[in-house]
Every structure is written in C-alpha cells, then in structure tokens.
Structure 1
Amino acid sequence: MTLKRIFLGLLLFLAAAVGYYVYAFVTFASDIQQPHIVKDQSPDKPNKSEIPVWGGKERVNILLMGVDSRERSLDEMPRSDTMLVVSIDPASKTYSLFSVLRDTYVEIPGYGSSRINAALSHGGPSLAMQTISNFTGLPIDYYVITDFEGFKGLVDAVGGVEFEVEKDMYYRDPADKGKYDINLKKGLQHLDGEKALQYVRFRHDAMSDYTRTERQRKFLSALADKMKRGATVLQLPDILESMRPYVQTNLSSLDMVKLAALGLTLDGAGAEGHQLPQPGAFREANRGGSVLLPSVERVQTYVQDVLSKSAEQSPKTDTDSATQG
C-alpha cells in the first residue's frame, strides 16, 4: 500500500485549491504557526539555517507529531503519542516515511535517557526535533503537530470514511470515565471522527505499537483517497476551519505552498513506510516499564540505506535521459 498521500495528500489537496480559496488558506496557515498546542522551550534555537532551498538538491526532513491534549492544562506539556519522519529528496523526486516507536529508549539532550516521546514534553518541538535528529542521523527541518480533536475534526469535515475494520476492538480507558473507550466491530462500516480515532489509537493486541502504526498508515491512506474527490475540494474552507485550532507548525505560509508544489513532482511508486528501530536493531528491557533499547548506529545505517535505495530506484527524468544521451 502506497503511503505517499499520508503526509503529502492534504498539502497537495490544499495547493490545488489555494488559488480559489486564498483567504481561507492564508488565515489557516497564519494561525497554525502560533504555539497554541505546545510551547517551544527553546525559541532562540530555530533550525532556520539548516532549511534547504527547495529549488536546489538538498533533502527536506519533517517531523510529524500527534499529541493527546485531553484534560491538559495550558502550561502542561504533552508527550508525542505518534512520531513520523517524512524525508523528501527534491533531486531524485522521491520520499520516505519512518514511524518512530514511542517506547524507544534514547538520550534526550539535557534530560538523560527516557522514552523518545518524552522529548516534546521536556523541551517542546525544538527538543523533539533535536532528539529525533540524533536518533535517525537526519537533520530535522520542520515539525507539524496535531492532536486528537484535530484528527476527529478532519475526518468529520470530509464526511467520514468507509473503512474495513479487520477485527473487533475493545478497550476500557479508566482515565477518561469512558469518554475515550474503544468499541469497534469487525467489518466494512462508516467511520466518523470519533470512531476513526478509536481505530488509529487501538494498541491492545499481541503486537501493540507495531500493529497500531500499521493501522494508522492504513486509515490515513483511505482518508487521503477520500480527500482527493472533487466534492471534498469544495469543502476546503470548512475543513481548514475545523482543523485550525488543532494544528501547529513552523512552516511558513510560503513554505507550505512550496512544499505542496514539490509534492506534485514526487514519484510515489514503491514508496513504503518503515518502523524505527527496525527489527533486529533493538532489545526489550524494563526501565520503569517495557522499553526498546535501540542500536542507534544500526538505526542510522538503516535510514541511510533506505534513502539511498529510494533514490536509486526512482525513474530517470527527462533531464537525466538527455544528459546521458
């Protein structure tokens, strides 16, 4: 299953409609650049000097984070429930996606060793980017954060998704007085925002976070398919309005448009998702609970191998063919 549309689908969708909905897009872009979800504890250390020019050849790496903002005070920093790195190579017109398992136990600069998803709660987006960069060996240029309500709002704004749930899923969440319980039945059904959130959150089976990240990619691909449809494009202002309070990024308005334009040129053939740490590159241990102790060296080697193979497998462009001819 191709994963191209997981991250790029929404941005391409926005780019296609931006000429028609300029006001809606600019308002949305301006608002989500504000730290209304997570405060950055290191505002004086931006990564702007490392951001490549997309007209050039350097790779662009973006950290996507999903957070749980339920019953959280404004001053309380959340952990990142989901972490996904999107790595885009403008030169080869390819991209790769890496899901980072949240129980990965790593060194968080200035805070010692902990689960990798604690970096956001300790130091905000800047520390999360630095920690992921140290783990993967990739310079992280940008971040995008959304929370549960933003995800639900997006699904509801497009009218829900027809989706095949592969098995019965049930979990009672004692911390939320039943508000976020999971209760899904096997089979094809219409998932609204609340039901879709239950599906992507479920991790209470034998493979835990491994199968949960697979389910997330599967549903997001179906959601992107729904968003490509013409009727959904006409709903753009309502979709942006529903998401605006729940999305935060350091992408500027111009950067968003440039990224969407770059996405139109990317080759999605053969693109796959990869989990980090990969099988064989970690061992399980107990550090106040079950964690994964990774071989950072092996993880970084694996990441570089994936990126190299992705670039090598990309089809030759017209420019390449002309040069070789």
Structure 2
Amino acid sequence: MNHPFTVLRSVLRTGRRRLAGTLALGIVLALAALVVPDSTVAPTNAELVALPEASGVDLGTLAKKDVVWILAVGSDARPGEDMLHTRGDALQLIGINTRTHAASSIGIPRDSWVDIPGHGENKINAALYYGGPRGLGDAVGDLVGIRPTYVFVTKFPYLENMVNAIGGIEVDNPVAFSDEFLKPKGFKKGRIHLDGYDAMAFSRIRHALLRGDFDRSANQQRVLAGIQAKIRAHQSDVGFLAKGVASVMKNLSTNLSPAQLFRLAQAVARVDPAKIRTCVVQGSIGDVNGASVVMPFVSAARAMGEDARDDATLSRCR
C-alpha cells in the first residue's frame, strides 16, 4: 500500500493549480464520512480499498466510465482489532456520475439478514468480519445488484473528532427522539446543530426510532449531508481544506496510487448537491435465535440498484 506521506508529497509536487483541485478530496471524504482528524496514530484510522476487479481500472477514463460506486462503512472495531475484519455498523453505498454530476446514497440496514457465501446466513455487517472489504462488497452486491468499486472503512470516534474540527454540522431532524444511554436529553425535531458526539449518537441510535434500523440509516445519510454542506460552505476559506487533506493523508491506508486518489477526488468534487438522492433498503423485522434482524425486500432492493446502477440516479425509493 502507498504510504500516506508519499501520497501527500506527490500532491504537493503537482503545483498550485493542481493542488487547488486536490483539495476537493475533502469533499470526497465528506460524502462518505471519510474525513478523519489529525492523530498521532497513523495510518490505521481509515482504509480505502479498490476491490480486485477495480484495481486495474484507469481512473483517468472516469469520464467515459461515467459511474463509480463507493461502499462507505463505519466499523465498530475496538482498540487493537482489525477494522477490516470486524462488523460494519453503518453501510452506505454511494454512486457518483462523473458526466451528469449526480450522486445517490443507498442505505443498507446493518441487521439485514442475507446469505454470506461460504458462511451461511447472517447479518450483512458480519460479511466484513468474515470476508473483509471484498466479502462485504460481494454481500452488498448480491443484495442490491451493484458491486462497489471501492470500499472505505473508518471508525466512529474519528467521525466525532472530524465534526468537532469543522465546528459541528446542521441537520434537518424529522422527529424528536432520545436514548437513555447515548443521548438522554434527546434531539428535538427540526433544524438542529450537532457537535461531534451528537453526530455519532444521531447516527447510531435506533431503539428510540419508530422504524429502528431503517430510520437510523436515514439519519446517517442526514449526517453525511450535513458534513458535505459544511465543507462546501467553507472550502474556500484559507487553510480549511488544506488542513483536512493533510490530516486525511496522515491517517489513510490505501491500495490506490496518488494519481488515482487525485482523479477520484476530482470526480467527486464535481457532484452537484441539488442532484444528490438518498434511499434506504426496506424490509420487515424478524427474529433469528432471539436476535432482531431485518428481512430485506430483495426484489425492491434490486429494483433500486437497477434504477441507479448505470447513472447513479435514484428516480424514487422502492
């Protein structure tokens, strides 16, 4: 894998004009909750993995390819655990159309009960534990019908620190809710401000929500939108994105080359916020050996994937 500082040095050598474009990496990371704060521990805070079939793709031809799909994963890895082989706590499949500048995010409830090749039936987030990024990419691909080109895995504590670093975010909360452990005072309905801890809690609470895992996935999308809006609003501020990009490079482990990172950043930077659509895979609530699970509506999930696969545009939620 490329060392993060090698990536950063390559970026800096490209000169001022190209650096300005590279600062768009902050937007790339924001879209997929990938912005991570400065840390003395590197480079284990975030992993961006090109799946085998994607490793030979020339990102310089993205304009011809049109669509790229990134699976963003919030890992629940504990200290000392390999975050590429733990259970994924948040799953968002993000599509970007480099020609129309549209983007879509398909939320996958983490408790979706699916078949994991070679390991039988289990919650979809267990696919990361058993098969790493490729195994999770395959499981999501089987459910939705879209196999991601890249898988990005990071941890919730770094989401907290990043949100604090940019001064918090604003989200539109459709319903008031609380949690006796994570947020006893709760979140009020309407436009609210979230600091880092609140953004984490807002993304993780499910038991207090009417539709549990489905509403939690939608709240994760609201947090992503809030991060993107904040970074877009301040991307021209002197040093704002430069600091974020330098931090990302210090914490990022990847099998992409510096040139591929740059081109991927350029592709996402052109996304038009007015053309972003979000949906969550739906299903029924079931019970397996005493554990609550989501029985996904597979046909509807695949119809959603069919709708967005070729142009990263969701016409409607299924």
Do Structure 1 and Structure 2 share a fold, with TM-score over 0.5? Answer: yes
Instruction: Name 2:258's counterpart in structure 1.
Output: 253
Shift of 1:103: 1.2
- Inter-CA distance 298–159: structure 2 relative to 1 (3 Å threshold): closer
Query: Distance between the aligned counterparts of 1:212 and 1:312, measured in 2?
Result: 20
Matches within 5 A, 1:195-214: 195-204=198-207, 205-214=209-218
Residue type at the aligned position of 1:286: D
Instruction: Name 1:235's counterpart in structure 2.
Output: 240
Query: Distance between the aligned counterparts of 2:212 and 2:248, measured in 1?
Result: 28
Contact 1:144–1:248 under 8 Å retained in 2: no
Contact 2:97–2:312 under 8 Å retained in 1: no
- Inter-CA distance 229–272: structure 2 relative to 1 (3 Å threshold): closer
Instruction: Name 2:224's counterpart in structure 1.
Output: 220
Match of 1:139, SS state, is: coil
2:180 pairs with 166, 171, 195, which one?
Answer: 171
2:146 pairs with 138, 145, 149, which one?
Answer: 138
Residue type at the aligned position of 2:205: F
Query: Distance between the aligned counterparts of 1:76 and 1:130, measured in 2?
Result: 14
Tell me the number of residue pairs that the alignment of Structure 1 and Structure 2 aligns: 281
Query: Distance between the aligned counterparts of 1:43 and 1:307, measured in 2?
Result: 18
Instruction: Name 1:285's counterpart in structure 2.
Output: 286
> Which stretch has the larger CA shift, 68-77 or 213-222?
68-77
- Inter-CA distance 227–113: structure 2 relative to 1 (3 Å threshold): same
Query: Distance between the aligned counterparts of 1:81 and 1:221, measured in 2?
Result: 18
Match of 2:91, SS state, is: strand
**Structure 1 runs not aligned, ≥5 long:** 1-15, 173-179, 314-325
Matches within 5 A, 1:98-109: 98-109=106-117
Instruction: Name 1:48's counterpart in structure 2.
Output: 55
Matches within 5 A, 1:261-280: 261-276=266-281, 278=282
Matches within 5 A, 1:21-170: 36=44, 45=52, 47-49=54-56, 53-74=61-82, 77-162=85-170, 166-170=175-179
Query: Distance between the aligned counterparts of 1:270 and 1:214, measured in 2?
Result: 17
Give TM-score scaled by structure 2 length.
0.71
* Cα deviation code 1:176-209 (max 9, x no counterpart): xxxx666535376653212221222221222112
- Inter-CA distance 158–303: structure 2 relative to 1 (3 Å threshold): same
> Which stretch has the larger CA shift, 222-231 or 47-56?
47-56
* Cα deviation code 1:228-280 (max 9, x no counterpart): 2347552334434555676555443322321232234445445310112x3xx
The percentage of aligned residue pairs carrying the same residue is: 24
Root-mean-square deviation (CA, aligned residues, Å) is 4.0
Pick the structure with greater CA Rg: 1
* Cα deviation code 1:204-231 (max 9, x no counterpart): 2221122212222223222222212347
* Cα deviation code 1:97-125 (max 9, x no counterpart): 21111111111122111111111111211
- Inter-CA distance 145–90: structure 2 relative to 1 (3 Å threshold): same
Give TM-score scaled by structure 1 length.
0.70
**Structure 2 runs not aligned, ≥5 long:** 1-15, 26-34
Contact 2:95–2:312 under 8 Å retained in 1: no
Shift of 1:54: 0.5
Query: Distance between the aligned counterparts of 1:88 and 1:76, measured in 2?
Result: 24
Shift of 1:139: 2.8
Contact 2:103–2:271 under 8 Å retained in 1: yes
> Which stretch has the larger CA shift, 138-147 or 303-312?
303-312
Residue type at the aligned position of 1:129: G
Query: Distance between the aligned counterparts of 1:270 and 1:68, measured in 2?
Result: 31
Match of 2:92, SS state, is: strand
Match of 1:64, SS state, is: strand
